[in-house]
Chain A
């Protein structure tokens, strides 16, 4: 005689679920409603995506987003602001929709400490937040001191503009004030760093501005690397739109910068003479945002090791790290990748707090770069969890074709703007 205990009933229903999915019927979830407190630290592409999708996937969760600033200024499209194509407002996003439409509590404060045993986050304002799961998405910090002579004071004169906002506007003002015939130096760092194609898109859009406003000027890219993201496409674009204006200096030709002199406005390559410029944009080496280091989440390195399926830290239990701060290679440190990780992480937390199996993760990256306002290129990749970590799906992804038509480049430029509108609305609206 069969006793239909709860346990057996669950088993039976699971078997039925499997059978029904084979037959093309949807699987019934047997799990309970997700309950618990989730705190998300950092309201950028990773953190804000995670908070929104946690609320969307599991409306019963108590989700609190801790973000220092009242508004977020995106790095994507900040190069277009430098070129004068958009203003800073265009790339600035608030948190009203997350609070009012998605039920996320937003606290504007800075996380100063994490106690993984007590499961608390302390805030600069003096309060303490209790969590069941914590998501840390602090983005990057600059490694001050990695380049001789480069500190916070020097960055007022030699902006990095790699965290958008006031730094972007310093660089924009300098470009507006430099003379025609002047020299702009962009110094790009070694891998890994935030936004691999970013320095080269920046060179492109500054060239677009200079071509119209100061056409005798020149841009020198000093690079600590021997090659870079979407290189053949960028070089083809520079040739087509800005012949003779952009010069790339590889690491092997003395492109790596070891020091700067903000007083004399010079950069010192690892070999060769110092080079003077009218505008210097130094993109220095980076590391995970401060709270990741304070909380010990970086282990011995500059970035945070995580379980790449759930983004749970391998250092501390029940703490997840996503976005630029996490080690998620082969995914790049991009806003799009951070958002994709935020969604996968939200799925893993919602599953865990409702006793469900997490669906197999699916991650994606899509990055557009504008070489000119009507000339766009892209790189894409689809990722799955492999045996030991994230792997790009073979045969998928890649960059735009090398010898595409003008119309193709124009379409990708249009999609680049559409991409920006979509991703920012997917996160902050």
Chain B
């Protein structure tokens, strides 16, 4: 028999989920991690760059999001970042920014 999920139960589950959730917890495969893996090729694993390309690990999500949005709009000059940033939606940029903020 199919059980319908009542609103209070969903609300309870949401509360439970927000209590249990710690982003990037072991075993959890997230879209943020998938998207961010694209950045690591040039910026280093988890954004830790060993060379001339800027290190983005642990930078504030606000800073990364604003930078990507400004690269995308052309408001901020770049060599290659404008070409990359145009490939991501606002939501994807937010997930990327939040991922790298967590990498200390």
Residues of A within 8 A of B (CB): 2-5, 8, 11-13, 15-17, 19-20, 23, 25-29, 31-34, 53, 56-60, 336, 339-340, 343-344, 347, 350-351, 354, 356, 358-364, 366, 378, 380-382, 393, 395-398, 400, 408, 411-412, 414-415, 417-423, 425-426, 429
Minimum CB–CB distance from B93 to chain A (whole Å) comes to 12
List, in ascending order, chain A residues with CB within 8 A of B26's CB: 33, 59
Q: Given A25-B14, A57-B29, are A418 and B80 neighbors across the interface (CB < 8 Å)? A: no
A362–B35 contact, CB under 8 A? yes
List, in ascending order, chain A residues with CB within 8 A of B38's CB: 340, 343, 362-364, 382
List, in ascending order, chain A residues with CB within 8 A of B33's CB: 57, 347, 359
Cross-chain contact of A418 among B28, B49, B86, B87 (Cβ < 8 A): B49
A347–B34 contact, CB under 8 A? yes
Q: How many residues of B contact A (CB 8 A)?
A: 46
Residues of B within 8 A of A (CB): 3, 5-6, 9-10, 13-14, 16-18, 20-23, 25-31, 33-35, 37-38, 40-45, 49-53, 79-80, 83-88, 92
List, in ascending order, chain B residues with CB within 8 A of A5's CB: 3
B28–A415 contact, CB under 8 A? no
Cross-chain contact of B20 among A28, A381, A420 (Cβ < 8 A): A28
List, in ascending order, chain B residues with CB within 8 A of A28's CB: 17, 20-21, 28
B80–A378 contact, CB under 8 A? yes
B83–A397 contact, CB under 8 A? yes
B79–A415 contact, CB under 8 A? yes
Minimum CB–CB distance from A85 to chain B (whole Å) comes to 15
Cross-chain contact of B14 among A23, A59, A378 (Cβ < 8 A): A23
- In the complex, besides A32-B27, A421-B50, A422-B49, 10 extra interface pairs with C-beta distance below 8 angstroms are A4-B3, A16-B16, A26-B22, A28-B17, A28-B21, A29-B25, A362-B34, A380-B84, A426-B44, A426-B45
B13–A12 contact, CB under 8 A? yes
Q: Given A12-B13, A20-B18, A354-B27, are A419 and B42 neighbors across the interface (CB < 8 Å)? A: yes
Minimum CB–CB distance from A25 to chain B (whole Å) comes to 5
List, in ascending order, chain A residues with CB within 8 A of B50's CB: 421-422, 425, 429
List, in ascending order, chain B residues with CB within 8 A of A396's CB: 83-88
Q: Given A20-B17, A411-B79, A415-B80, are A356 and B37 neighbors across the interface (CB < 8 Å)? A: no
List, in ascending order, chain B residues with CB within 8 A of A363's CB: 38
List, in ascending order, chain B residues with CB within 8 A of A60's CB: 27
How far, in angstroms, from A4 to B9 measured CA to CA in the complex? 10
Q: List 5 A-B contacts (CB under 8 A).
A: A16-B14, A57-B33, A361-B34, A396-B84, A412-B79
Minimum CB–CB distance from A262 to chain B (whole Å) comes to 38
B29–A393 contact, CB under 8 A? no
| Of listed B30, B31, B40, residue having the most chain A CB within 10 A | B40
B29–A423 contact, CB under 8 A? no
List, in ascending order, chain B residues with CB within 8 A of A343's CB: 34, 37-38, 40
B14–A422 contact, CB under 8 A? no
